[in-house]
Amino acid sequence: MSAKTKRSKEKAVIEQMIALYCRKNHKQAMCEDCQRLLEYACQRIDCCPFMETKSFCSNCKVHCYQSEMREKIRKVMRFSGPRMLFHKPWLVVSHIYHSRKERNL
């Protein structure tokens, strides 16, 4: 899979997770804070030098998020991760498969 394809898939997943978090916690499609978090995450994904060799940011040895944004994205992922199984099950299955595959390499 090309880095460009991986970037677009990772952006789609993070957008889904942030949107789910915002809908459930802020009762909006996408509030200003969540939109800024999404833009920041997409910027980090675009600048990632390891995209060819990694599957997801959670599997990366280098964490490029600022500490405040890293805490926000963790909060979103902790909330949205389990709920994604009910909203976008194919994304969860794909994520688990690719994460485990990478760890076993």
Provide the residue ranges of all domains of the chain, joining segments of one domain with +: 3-104
CA distances from 82 to 29, 77, 79, 103 (A): 19, 8, 7, 20
pLDDT over threshold 90, residue 22:
yes
- Its pTM stands at 0.85
Among 56, 63, 62, residue whose Cα is nearest residue 81: 56
pLDDT over threshold 70, residue 5:
yes
Contact 102, 55 (CB under 8 A): yes
Q: How many CA atoms lie within 13 A of 7 on its CB side?
A: 15
- pLDDT value of residue 94: 83
Average pLDDT on 13-34 reads: 94
- pLDDT value of residue 63: 78
- pLDDT value of residue 67: 92
User: In 26-88, which residue ranges form alpha helices assigned H by DSSP?
Assistant: 32-47, 67-87
Q: Read off the pLDDT of residues 36-52 as tens digits, 9 standing for 90 and up.
A: 999 999 999 998 888 77
- pLDDT value of residue 55: 63
Q: Which of 16-25, 56-65, 74-83, 90-99 has the lowest mean pLDDT?
A: 56-65
